Chain A
């Protein structure tokens, strides 16, 4: 029998209870994908709308992409939390997986930078009315890079749980046992369907964002535009849901190992599985209702329902991840040495930070409502 790939446990133990680490990992991931979805699938959708659509489509596209610099800044930021807590709880598998795929993983940094500056270039073109071929191309290049980054992330995180696949990959891509870092987890049957399912999910998030934007921030737009935007959102959401259904079925029934699928179909996990599968149905229904007239309440509910659907996906993903790793890791069994005072200070700062953030937004809303003084 060959020795295992996993190194020893960290002698310091978990600095917080496992449930705490998991809570912030899942919460952070939910918040991260709620914004990441907008550049992963939303950007390409909006570029296509601008390219092939009419005046309303162009307006929607411009509104959407105009907001992307903020969305990307906060989305990247929100991604720090799940990655931090992943490294606390799953370090034994996270580091080897990313090292086996080191160059693609490392490439995230320059690629993200190019894509982000590409968006700025495009947005400058929009805002200053100086759109030209170069700026348009920057938008398309950014969209392509963001989709490529989606693949890189899926590659690393599916490799993290595919411990059985490390050996062949390591042997094929290393110099005397030291990986070149060019491993791609293409032999993993879950990689493609999961990535594609995430793309469909991202389309539904894009649709929900359009509804929220139209309900709350499109006050200056015509009624006709708003009706068109809501209809467009419903179409995108319908396509996204259909896509999720097809790819999710492929992932769940054909790619996921039988024992994990079996566990997900046992009560009480079955409830979570069903809720996850049906999760994006609720925002879709709310979008359908919005066709008769969008109110702010409906817009808010649609946004929250989509966030809930993403949360369910994140929880399901976490349970599957734990099941995939169960043969290799004693998840949650590591000794816990709670760092009480820093933990509490973090929580205080977290709440205080949210408070300060809200205060700033309130100040801005107040200021925007005041008449402009020349």
Chain B
């Protein structure tokens, strides 16, 4: 509303955030857990002077750098890039609240990259002790990065007392912070195991002793990780705001996903324990790929769920999912959404100057007097700015499909009070006339009642 709305047909622009974030998280968590694994295992290999194992770890560190420093780092920046485009008001708010959180994370990010490069490129030149310290500098920096970023994502789900007492630390130590940190740390350890196991399996190490060692030791972080994911997940659920829990309970798909996370985590735990931990000889590419896929499924589903339960907010209690501050809604219902929106007001002033009065305000009566095509255009403007955050016309969460067969009266009733029909939708932030204009537009795109179904009429 205060910013132009980026129109991405079929998928909606916020779905691009989901796409970038999901692929990022698969690597970012490994960047943390894998760093911890490398630090601990390098220390172990130095202490036991196990040269073959050190050789393997060096090989793995190269794979780790290629994946995390390039793909992980760039997709991380990519999330930031995308949220500014697809969710500008929420990004503006988060940047103002957490600028020093991000700035601190930047310091640790620099340390991560420097220590990762030095750890790998000076592998044979550094004394064992210094080499190990470098590994730990990386691991600790990466974990603190995770903690700092988790505080921001956790804040988005439950800002706790920040709304009443806005301060950085209240925002930072929000009710979801510790559970999400535990769950994500667990996820990082779990993924580390799966990546190491996959890498080792595909490398097809011939030395049976080394293969067994890699299989056994790579399993440990994963077993701990699965435990932490479970603890953090349960705590995460308990710390959810009431409406988020209600959203979870109301949507059967989300229920299934939540069960799926725990089930898959359990399966991964079992496979890790019975497979590489108890029977290290099982290390095969097929088994590793299966485990890896399960792990990604659990992590990806968790992230999707975390996003989905936040509706109707993008930052809980702070910014609505359609880029409006909650306290703006009563005013907008009086003065009008088109009038209150920077870009919508400009659009009406340029396209329909006859609908702007001498004081420069939008005259809604004049909008209703526009031709049917022009009214549809204003309705589309309202749809794009008010609804397109979550709904496409044709494609993802398409309104043309979800309103299939609806009568104009049903559509108008929903538009006026969307939060009554679905409590996880934001209230309509416009006047009754604007609701009519939006409903008129939706009527033009709603598909007809499917043929061949009984609709209760005699025909």
B113 part of interface (Cβ distance < 8 Å): yes
Question: In the complex, how many angstroms separate the beta carbon of B352 from the nearest chain A beta carbon?
Answer: 11
Q: Please, what's the 1-or-0 string for A20-45, where 1 marks a CB less than 8 Å from any CB in chain B?
A: 00001000000000000000000000
Contacts known (A98-B85, A353-B107); A15 close to B96, Cβ less than 8 A: yes
A19 part of interface (Cβ distance < 8 Å): no
A368 part of interface (Cβ distance < 8 Å): yes
Separation of A81 and B99 alpha carbons in the complex (Å): 10
B168 part of interface (Cβ distance < 8 Å): yes
B166 contacts A12, C-beta separation under 8 Å = yes
The A-contacting residues of B in range 340-377, CB under 8 angstroms, are: 342-347, 349-350, 360, 377
Chain A, Cβ-Cβ closest to B341: A7
Separation of A363 and B97 alpha carbons in the complex (Å): 38
Number of interface residues of A (CB under 8 A): 75
B360 contacts A357, C-beta separation under 8 Å = no
B134 contacts A360, C-beta separation under 8 Å = yes
A177 contacts B343, C-beta separation under 8 Å = yes
A179 part of interface (Cβ distance < 8 Å): yes
Cβ contacts under 8 Å, B102 to chain A: 80, 84
Question: In the complex, how many angstroms separate the beta carbon of A246 from the nearest chain B beta carbon?
Answer: 33
B7 contacts A91, C-beta separation under 8 Å = no
The B-contacting residues of A in range 107-166, CB under 8 angstroms, are: 108-109, 112-113, 116-117, 120
Contacts known (A113-B74, A346-B103); A367 close to B5, Cβ less than 8 A: no
Cβ contacts under 8 Å, B332 to chain A: none
A2 contacts B96, C-beta separation under 8 Å = no
Separation of A217 and B100 alpha carbons in the complex (Å): 36
The A-contacting residues of B in range 114-133, CB under 8 angstroms, are: 114-115, 117-118, 122, 124-127, 130
Separation of A353 and B106 alpha carbons in the complex (Å): 10
Query: By DSSP majority rule, is chain B's interface helix, strand, loop, or mixed?
Result: helix
Question: In the complex, how many angstroms separate the beta carbon of A336 from the nearest chain B beta carbon?
Answer: 11
B69 part of interface (Cβ distance < 8 Å): yes
Interface residues on chain B, size class: 35 or more
A177 contacts B81, C-beta separation under 8 Å = no
Separation of A85 and B96 alpha carbons in the complex (Å): 10
Cβ contacts under 8 Å, A170 to chain B: 4
Separation of A356 and B134 alpha carbons in the complex (Å): 10
Question: Which of A14, A81, A357 contacts B106, CB < 8 Å?
Answer: A81
B396 part of interface (Cβ distance < 8 Å): no
Spot the interface stretch: B218-226, B247-255, B378-386: B378-386
Separation of A85 and B80 alpha carbons in the complex (Å): 13
A270 part of interface (Cβ distance < 8 Å): no
Spot the interface stretch: B87-95, B152-160, B303-311: B87-95
B113 contacts A367, C-beta separation under 8 Å = no
A368 contacts B125, C-beta separation under 8 Å = yes
Question: Which of B6, B7, B114 contacts A360, CB < 8 Å?
Answer: B114
B77 contacts A346, C-beta separation under 8 Å = no
A174 part of interface (Cβ distance < 8 Å): yes
Question: Which of A2, A3, A76 contacts B73, CB < 8 Å?
Answer: A76
Chain B, Cβ-Cβ closest to A344: B100
Separation of A341 and B346 alpha carbons in the complex (Å): 41
A346 contacts B104, C-beta separation under 8 Å = yes
Cβ contacts under 8 Å, B110 to chain A: 74, 77, 353, 357
Chain B, Cβ-Cβ closest to A21: B99
B212 part of interface (Cβ distance < 8 Å): no
Question: Which of A84, A106, A171 contacts B85, CB < 8 Å?
Answer: A106
Contacts known (A84-B106, A98-B84); A177 close to B114, Cβ less than 8 A: no
Cβ contacts under 8 Å, B95 to chain A: 84, 87-88, 91
B213 part of interface (Cβ distance < 8 Å): no
B70 part of interface (Cβ distance < 8 Å): yes
B419 part of interface (Cβ distance < 8 Å): no
B388 part of interface (Cβ distance < 8 Å): yes
Cβ contacts under 8 Å, A353 to chain B: 107-108, 110-111
The A-contacting residues of B in range 29-75, CB under 8 angstroms, are: 66, 69-71, 73-75
A343 part of interface (Cβ distance < 8 Å): yes
B418 part of interface (Cβ distance < 8 Å): no
Separation of A167 and B350 alpha carbons in the complex (Å): 10
Separation of A350 and B110 alpha carbons in the complex (Å): 10
Contacts known (A3-B342, A73-B113, A346-B107); A367 close to B127, Cβ less than 8 A: yes
A330 part of interface (Cβ distance < 8 Å): no
Contacts known (A1-B360, A73-B73, A81-B106); A341 close to B114, Cβ less than 8 A: no
Separation of A114 and B71 alpha carbons in the complex (Å): 10
B104 contacts A345, C-beta separation under 8 Å = yes
B20 part of interface (Cβ distance < 8 Å): yes
Question: In the complex, how many angstroms separate the beta carbon of A315 from the nearest chain B beta carbon?
Answer: 21
Question: Which of A77, A88, A180 contacts B109, CB < 8 Å?
Answer: A77
A181 contacts B85, C-beta separation under 8 Å = yes
A285 part of interface (Cβ distance < 8 Å): no
Question: In the complex, how many angstroms separate the beta carbon of A288 from the nearest chain B beta carbon?
Answer: 34
B169 part of interface (Cβ distance < 8 Å): yes
B342 contacts A7, C-beta separation under 8 Å = yes
Cβ contacts under 8 Å, B85 to chain A: 95, 98-99, 102, 105-106, 181
B326 part of interface (Cβ distance < 8 Å): no
A176 contacts B122, C-beta separation under 8 Å = no
Question: Which of B5, B111, B380 contacts A356, CB < 8 Å?
Answer: B111
Question: Which of A1, A76, A100, A357 contacts B74, CB < 8 Å?
Answer: A76
A178 contacts B96, C-beta separation under 8 Å = no
Contacts known (A2-B346, A12-B166, A73-B69); A109 close to B6, Cβ less than 8 A: no
Question: In the complex, how many angstroms separate the beta carbon of A39 from the nearest chain B beta carbon?
Answer: 14
B109 contacts A176, C-beta separation under 8 Å = no
A175 part of interface (Cβ distance < 8 Å): yes
B413 part of interface (Cβ distance < 8 Å): no
Cβ contacts under 8 Å, B137 to chain A: 356, 360
Question: In the complex, how many angstroms separate the beta carbon of A366 from the nearest chain B beta carbon?
Answer: 9
Q: Which residues of B contact A (CB under 8 A)?
A: 1-8, 13, 16, 20, 66, 69-71, 73-75, 77-78, 80-82, 84-85, 88, 91-93, 95-97, 99-104, 106-111, 113-115, 117-118, 122, 124-127, 130, 134, 137, 166-169, 342-347, 349-350, 360, 377, 380-381, 384-385, 388
CB pairs A–B below 8 angstroms (8 shown): A2-B350, A3-B342, A16-B99, A80-B106, A88-B96, A106-B85, A342-B168, A360-B118
- List the 3 closest pairs (A to B, CB-CB), nearest first: A7-B2, A342-B100, A178-B7
Q: Which residues of A contact B (CB under 8 A)?
A: 1-8, 10, 12-16, 24, 70, 73-74, 76-77, 80-81, 83-85, 87-88, 91, 94-96, 98-100, 102, 105-106, 108-109, 112-113, 116-117, 120, 167, 170-171, 174-181, 339, 341-343, 345-346, 349-350, 352-353, 356-357, 360-361, 363-364, 367-368, 370, 372
Given contacts A102-B6, A349-B104, 18 further A-B contacts (CB under 8 A): A5-B342, A12-B93, A73-B73, A73-B117, A76-B73, A77-B73, A77-B110, A80-B102, A84-B95, A108-B81, A113-B75, A170-B4, A176-B384, A181-B8, A357-B110, A360-B114, A367-B130, A370-B125
